[in-house]
Amino acid sequence: MNIVVLDGYSVNPGDMDWSALQSLGTLTVYDRTSAQEIIERSREAEIVLTNKVPFTAQTIAALPRLRYIGVLATGYNIIDTEAAARRGVVVTNIPAYSTDSVAQMVFAHILNITNRVGHYAEENGRGRWAGNADFCYWDTPLVELAGKRMGIVGLGNTGMATARIARAFGLDVWANTSKSPAQLPDYIYPATLDELFAACDIVSLHCPLTETTRAMVDASRLSRMKPGAILINTGRGPLVDEQAVADALNSGRLAAFGADVLSVEPPSEDNPLLTARNSFITPHIAWATREARTRLLGICVENIRAFLSGTPCNVVS
């Protein structure tokens, strides 16, 4: 079985090995693959693994040997799954491998915003505390989370993990979800989207990107948020209207924005969120803990084994 990994560097930049995949066939790993290189590098492959390298209908049609596309991520919008199904090509994804890591990043952003540990550590490294007249100082708002209200949009695996952490911090948890009230733990209050945005001190986005949710956080919705509210996005970049969020930050309407995703990645230098006031952007790394990447590769191997045995799992095509 000829297996090709087209963009292996982001998943394994060298701190893990590919031996489990090598045991399943002849393996070729490319760190990165440009659009112009996809067909040539995949021509002899029966199994192709990709994180962000896209497969259009035209690309799939040009690869007659292709039998299986494994997406090394949960989201699979980079694949034309209908074209794959027409060709009989199985497409799988990797569900729920980074749940705890992403929920952890949500609170890394929240705690950075409310306590600004990095800011004070940098100031003290420059000697500010050593030269201070008093035993302490602060020049940012310091916020206690207990008793505040946190709204979670989308209660899938990551949304639920975030809700559990929020409860541990003493936050009142609201959620906008398709789950019925009977399916929710008693500490989660179900709310409409408008109720949640209007009432919560912190809003965290965990819903999938669809035509309904694209730019769901626009100028109108931002205007309904509480003055001084915090917005977190570890879901999908296009869930927010980036210019509208930047405008709300720069005007002081929105206290802070923490995000691990943007609408285009890597972003253009003029993305307004990169320079907006109290905008804290991490480079799509919530999923990238070693633990999560180890799970990802393990599930990838099991997906291929299941496919080879004739009982494919995690199929999205």
Strand-pairing partners, residue 295, are none
Q: Hey, how many other C-beta atoms are within 10 angstroms of the C-beta on 170?
A: 11
Average the pLDDT over 231-244 and give the result: 97
Q: Interior CA angle at 189 toward 188 and 190, to 5°?
A: 115
Residue-wise pLDDT for 268-278, tens only, equals: 999 999 999 99
Distance CA 307, CA 148 (A): 47
Is residue 282 within a helix (H) or strand (E), and if so which, with residue range?
Answer: none
Pick the catalytic residue from 41, 284, 302, 305.
284
pLDDT band at 226 (very low <50, low <70, confident <90, very high): very high
Query: What are the percentages of helix, strand and coil residues in the chain, rounded to 5?
Result: 35, 15, 50
Residue-wise pLDDT for 123-176, tens only, equals: 999 999 999 999 999 999 999 999 999 999 999 999 999 999 999 999 999 999
Residue-wise pLDDT for 26-69, tens only, equals: 999 999 999 999 999 999 999 999 999 999 999 999 999 999 99
Pick the catalytic residue from 44, 265, 290, 291.
265
Q: What pLDDT was estimated at residue 52?
A: 96
Q: What is the CA radius of gyration of the chain?
A: 22
> How far is C-alpha 51 from the geometric centre of its chain's CA atoms?
13
Q: Hey, how many other C-beta atoms are within 10 angstroms of the C-beta on 187?
A: 12
Pick the catalytic residue from 236, 242, 293, 295.
236
Distance CA 89, CA 56 (A): 13
The answer to whether residues 233 and 184 touch, using CB atoms and an 8 Å cutoff, is: no
- Per the prediction, the chain carries an average pLDDT of 97
Contacts of 215-220 with CB under 8 Å at 24 or more apart are 215/239, 215/240, 215/241, 216/153, 216/240, 217/241, 217/244, 217/245, 218/244, 219/244, 219/247, 219/248
> Structural domains in the chain?
2-97+290-308 (3.40.50.720), 99-281 (3.40.50.720)
Nearest to 297 by CA among 2, 76, 21, 22: 21
DSSP conformation class of 56: -
- 284 flagged as catalytic: yes
